[in-house]
Structure formats: structure tokens, C-alpha cells
Amino acid sequence: MSAGQDRIPTTQYAVQLTGPGRLTLNRNKPLPPVGPYTILARVEAVGLCFSDLKMLKQFAAHPRKGEIVSGLPGEVLGELAGYVPGDLPTVPGHEAVCRIVAVGGRVSSHKAGERVIVQTDYRSLRTAGSNAAFGYNFEGALQEYVAMDERVVVDAETGERFLIPAGEDLSASAACLVEPWACVEDSYASPERRSPQSGGNMLVVAELGHGIEGLSEACGSGGKPAEVVAVCTAAQESDAARDLGVPVTRAADAAGLPAEAFDDIVYFGERKETIEALNDKLAQRGIMNIVTRGRRIGHSVSVGVGRVHYGLTRWIGTHGHSAAESYRSIPATGEIRPGEKILVVGAAGPMGQMHVIRCITSGVPGIEITAADVDDARLAALERKAGPLAKARGVKFLVVNPQKEPSPGAASYVAIMAPVPSLVARAVNDGGEGCLVNVFAGIPAAAREPVDLDAYIAKRCFMFGTSGSVVRDMKIVLAKIESGQLDTNTSVDAVCGMEGAIEALAAVERRTLSGKIVVYPALRGLGLVPLADLRERAPSVAAKLNRDVWTKEAEEELYRVFGR
């Protein structure tokens, strides 16, 4: 074992989740032994997230709290540092920056003394319903020290590290908030699939009187599906086989086909009932392509909007004749475009603020941003933070309360922060030509909502969603911070130590603060302190703020005042 300069204690303060709704501050949690693959790190700071509350309420029922079913040999699982699946108590907190203080003898990619931020999603380690994750079935960062295992935090195929080196010049708060900002970045930067899945499963359904066109053209040079199931007439089936050049299996109807089995569903028709039935056949990351041949559906269609975020499903369509037209309308990413008229719905909450500031500081020319929220106090706080940034960059910026005033004009980009299915339908109705609908909020996966698909198709709208982030996104955000393009500290609205962490989680649930709460585990006795209260509670810390924005200097003063 190698160790850093820390004098490593035998016990520590930790917030533990022991069951649904059962949080406790354990003041004597033992530190685990450092095994051959263990990476022991001291937590410098951890941000709190609304996702922590989902874990708090669901506990063992959360899909990321389950046992790992693939990705590592069974005999290894019992050796993993911090692995606490099922009913075992866990430590929440996944937005973290840490200092490695000791490593086991077989650790090769990490060393004591390194400062790192944590990529929390271990996507190659599958659970029954999701994937393993830091702060879920692996203990997280709401403790003074956290033990990780190198076999988990290094991708076995690529060698990529999930513990990303962070510069010494960054405040701990700015570094820990890279993770939530990376989730925002992911929603803009993730590449979209723009053709049928190569080697995938395709379902082709055609109503009587509709031809089958454009399947081969849609595939282009990207490769063809491995299997095609067709629900259509014999002549249409022949057209599909001829167009794709692959064997086609005929099915009597779609109802008997397995759920979530098809990477691409191409429907030539306009029947509402058929589209709704096909909704459930779409696999994770699947694309639903509706080709109407100039005909109208005539009714709103119940669409699985929850799966757009959690299942990464996509809906496209054309009033033309060719399936290729719809695939061509898919954007390369969810990035904003020059001249974009952006509407952020639920903009004044912590994640909404990030979307607003991310767009303002993007450097994309000619954009206009409307931040909509029903909480006037939060809107005022957002305007104080984002207004000067927008003015300095020449970005037109407006805050509105939709309960009191309408949003100005049709948006070309709508980012939805509230997990309300009807907001997706409203974005389609109110959006302009080519409107991109970023379903960032975690609408429950099973949720469906009536959507005007005739308008969706005619306007060439595209709704998309992402969940979490990848290492690429964290590196992008880190580079933006280091270059001065972005200050993640604009998100900070309150700070605390371990004694205030449970109260802070309650504040997240009550939504009493408009920004992020940063916990400093080393400041054991510090209760929850909103930045607005700093002038009374700690005037010397308040004096280090920059126009009410948290700074590295304020963090250093916080340690000086409360670290004794």
C-alpha cells in the first residue's frame, strides 16, 4: 500500500441511507481496510442532487441499487471496495472531488496525492434495471473518506479512468460541480443516431394503400439491419425485402410481437391506434419513424415521453413517401444553433440555471434566451446571476413567469426542466419550425402523453433526452472552467459541513433554494448556510463573494473561519 500525507483516521463522519427515507449521520463509521485494488480518497466537496432524493425514497428498489449482474466475474464482486447492493446501507452523494490518500498494491492507474473528480456511472457494470453507480450500489461521497476499487473505476475495454484528474487551481466547489454540469453538457453534446441501427432489429408496418420506400436509402453507408419483421401485405413485404436486400419475416400483426424488441420501427400509415400499439415495441435507444404519405393522423397520439429521457427513444416522421426523409431530419447532436430562440422551462431551479448559463456562455451567435419559471423569487435570483453574463456577451435574455405573462414568440429550442409530461406536448404545439425539444427532466419512464404528431411531423420537431453523463462530457466542462469560459460556482446557493448535510437534503426536497448546495465533509460542525445568510453568519466569508457568486477565495475563508 502507498499513502499520501494524510494521517488516515480509523473512523469518520458519514451520512448513511439505511432504508427508504431513513438517513442518519454516523459519527463513527469505520474506514475500510485498503485491499489490493482499493483507492482510498479524502472527499474535499460534494454537491447535492435531486437524484439523491430518488435514491432516498426508493432505496433497494432503485434500479442502480441492485446487484451487478454482468461486467465483472462473480468471484470479484465480494472483493469490491464500497460495494453495497440491495438492502445494504449506502452513502449517497455523487457530485464529488476527492484527494487520493492511499492505494492498494495492485493499483496501477492511480496514485496517492492525485486530485480527481468522479464520473459516477459505471455503464459496463449492469444491474437488472440499469447500471452500477457511485452513490447508489457503491458508497458515495457524503463521508469524509471514500473507498473505491480500480477494477470499477477503470473501463476494462478502453482503459479510460472514471477518476478524472482535476487541477489544483480550482476551488473544491467548482470541481465537484463538474458532474452536474456534465449532465447538462451531455444533453447538448451527445451524438444522435441518424440512420437505421446497423445489425439491429427493424420492424416495418404498412397500412393498406401505402408503399414502402426509402429503407435502403436511409441506411446509406451505415450498414443495414440484421433482421426485419414486416406487418403488411405480401406485395409490401416484397417491396421491403427488395429495398433492403435482407431477409424479411412476415408477422400477422404487431400486437403479438415482443415489447421493447426493435431498434427501428418504420410505420407507413396514419392510424392513431397502430402508432400507440407500436410505442411499446420500441427498444431502448430505438427510433420510431412515421411516414404518412401526405395523410393526417387527425388525433393526438399517446406517446411514451418518459422513455425519451430514460430510454433514449426518438420519434421522427415525414408527410412524404420515403422513410429516408425522416432520418435525414435528425440533428447530429442536441446542440443549440446560431440564431436560436431558446425557451428553458423550469429555468430557475438548480439544473435550469445551468442550462441558461451554459447557453449564454456557449459562444453560439445570435441566440435569444427566455427563462420561464413560476417562482418569482427564484427567477429574481437567476436574473441576478445570468443577467450580467448575458449582457457581457451580447445575448438577449428575458425571465418570465408563465402564470403572469406569455413567453415571447415561438421557440426553436425548448429545454424542459420539470418532470411534467404535458410540457412536452405544449412544446410541440408552441414551438416553431424545426423545434428541438430537450426533455432533460426525468419524467417517469412509464409516462405517456397525448402529442399532436401531425404538428410534430409538419414542423419537423425533434424531441430527445439524455440521462447522466460520460467522461467526455466531464472533460469538456473541465476544459471550459480552466479556460475561463464557464464558472460552475455560479450554481452554488448554500454550503454546509457534515452536521448540515441531512438538513441540506431536506432543502433540496423542499426546493427552498434556487441553486446547488455544496457539502464540505472536513467542516464537520458547519450547519446549512445559504449564501444569502453569509453576511450575518460569516461576514468575512461574504466579503469574498463576487457579486453574490461563490468563489475560491470565499471557500478558503470558510475553511479559515469554520475549520478550527
Q: Which pLDDT belongs to residue 4?
A: 52
CATH superfamily for domain 1-176+492-564:
Medium-chain alcohol dehydrogenases, catalytic domain (3.90.180.10)
Same fold, 201-333+451-458 and 341-411: yes
What contacts 426, CB < 8 A, 6 or more positions away? none
* Residue partners of 265: CB distance under 8 A and separation at least 6: 202, 203, 204, 205, 278, 281, 282, 286, 287, 288, 289
Residues of the chain with confidence (pLDDT) below 70: 1-6, 564
Partner residues linked to 451 by β-bridges: 301
State the pLDDT at residue 65: 95
Domain chopping of the chain, boundaries: 1-176+492-564, 201-333+451-458, 341-411
The bridge status of strand 38-47 relative to strand 145-149 is antiparallel
Can you give the pLDDT at residue 564?
65
Packing angle, helices 471-483 and 178-189, rounded to 10: 110
Find out whether 209 and 185 touch, Cβ atoms under 8 Å: no
pLDDT of residue 52: 87
Q: Is 548 left (phi over 0), alpha (psi -120 to 50) or beta?
A: left
| Count, residues in the chain | 564
Assigned superfamily of 341-411: NAD(P)-binding Rossmann-like Domain (3.40.50.720)
Identify the pLDDT of residue 82. 95
Q: Buried b vs exposed e over 295-325: b needs ≥16 C-beta within 10 Å? A: eebeebbebbbbbbbbbbbbbbbbbbbbbbb
Contact call for residues 477 and 454 (beta carbons, < 8 A)? no
Task: Please state, as a whole number, how many other Cβ atoms lie within 10 Å of the Cβ of residue 346.
Answer: 23
Report the alpha-carbon distance of residue 121 to residue 136 in Å, rounded: 10
Query: What is residue 407's predicted lDDT score, i.e. its pLDDT?
Result: 79
Cell output for 270: 396514419
Q: What is the pLDDT of residue 77?
A: 93
Contact between residue 85 and residue 152 where contact means Cβ atoms under 8 Å apart:
no
C-alpha closest to that of 264 among 291, 280, 288, 232: 288
Q: Which CATH number fits domain 201-333+451-458: 1.10.357.10, 3.40.50.720, 3.40.640.10, 3.30.420.240?
A: 3.40.50.720
Closest CA to 455 of 500, 489, 424: 424
Instruction: For residue 546, list its beta bridge partners.
Output: 549
Q: What whole-number distance in Å separates Cα of residue 334 and Cα of residue 451?
A: 21
What CA–CA distances, in Å, run from 533 to 329, 379, 538?
A: 50, 19, 8
Query: Residues near 92 by Cβ (< 8 Å), separated by ≥ 6?
Result: 15, 17, 52, 55, 56, 135, 140, 142, 505
Q: How many CB atoms lie within 10 A of CB 95?
A: 30
The answer to whether 224 and 244 are in contact (CB under 8 A) is yes
What is the C-alpha to C-alpha distance for residues 152 and 398, in angstroms, rounded to an integer?
44
CA dist 379 to 49, 180, 281, 373, 493, Å?
Answer: 20, 20, 41, 7, 14
| Residue linked to cell 459505471 | 122
